[in-house]
Structure 1
Amino acid sequence: AKQDNITELLTRADDLVTQQKSYNEVYEAMARSLGEAWKELNLQLEGRRNLLNQAIRFHTIAVRFIDQVNGARSWFSSLEQANFDNKSLNILFDEHDAYRKETLEASLNTLNEGQLLLEHVKDLGSLIESANQHSTIAACYEIEQLLGLHQDERRKFEDEWERNRKILSDYVQMSEIKHEIDQIFDWLEKQGKSNSDSTDLGQTLDDIERLQMIHRNIEAESQVI
């Protein structure tokens, strides 16, 4: 390994300095310069390693966001063919809220990680020679482009979520109307139709007056309906 070679070389230089007093200053300067250069290289490599690790974290979180969006869209599509009678509205609304919460959390994590990566690249770029600044500029541009695309995707998801929220809200209204219609049909079957089809005239005047009162009440209710 290069580290072993450098260590051996510095040791030999130290020995030579000890043996050759006349070259003391020269060898000391050379050894010191090499040691500093090696330390600087290791610092740069460490910075590069950290940068790559951070880039992996950013892209991993960004992919997680896309997976979250795709999962939500698949669920949105299922609403169009769902049999709402088999699923309570409370569960649907809870699931809808959960998709939004999880997706926006993934979006925020992506933006935060992307911003950290961008700042890291800029910090490292400030340490390199101006002749090599083009690589820093290109890297920053690419990250900013990815963050811009991410923002577009998040806004698109928000619009889709709002549209599907309206679908659920419309279904609530339809369910309420259906419930009222079912009640009317139930009344028609149990009260209205049975009375209108009845030929019962009773046995006495009191019976007839009672039946007449029932009929008037049904007529009054039917007019309200």
Structure 2
Amino acid sequence: MIETLVVVVRSIIAFISLLIFARILGKQQISQLSFFDYITGITIGSIAATLTTDLTSRAWPHWVGLLTWTILVFIFQWSVLKGRTIAKYIDGEPAVVIMNGKIMEETLKKIKYRASDLLKLLREKQIFDISEVEYAVFETSGELSILKKSEYQPLTPKDIGLLTPYKGMSKELIYDGKVMEQNLLYIDKDKDWLLNQIRAYGFGAFEEVFLALIDETGNMFIDGYKDSIDPKEQKSLE
């Protein structure tokens, strides 16, 4: 019982510490993490796990280790922001692997990538013909950025002089059955108006709606809770 209580207390300490330290260090998407960020993240998480469950040692040294790693990562992040040379050393630099439809073999060797790896990443970007590519760049996060040649880029309304209405960002009017009153005020509408809108879609109450959005042009998207897949469609997916 006492050990269980100790684990619970240590877990709370580790959780709160990680929450605070993560807020201090900022946040990145997993795809944006460099190899160095990935390793330090695993190390900090491992220290927090040890702090939680290693009852053979005191919690204090583990917490100090957790704090020390966080401070070191913060210092490195600050150094990377301030110094281009340090950033290049820690994160590396983007590498051009395709230029004007031709593969840069020497660059591939330097970053230790095979041609088959490159072709796989191109296919994931819906590119099956290398000659369509103007530039392909390996970013420091491991992502492949691609610029197609102008003749292979998709046609846009701007290319043919077509004016399109501005849509902007959609605003949530209902989320999880609850009315977002602030957003209603923003568009100068009230609950009665919103109720009439959802009734037109066959809903009788706000609680029946999972999500309701409206864009700048007034178009609405409304989704209810009781969605189901037709058995025939489900079978076709299997």
Q: Which gives a bigger RCO, structure 1 or 2 (Cα 8 Å, sep 6+)?
A: 1
Give me the TM-score of the superposition, normalised by structure 2.
Answer: 0.19
Structure index of larger Rg: 1
Give me the TM-score of the superposition, normalised by structure 1.
Answer: 0.20
Is the strand fraction higher in 1 or 2?
A: 2
Is the helix fraction higher in 1 or 2?
A: 1
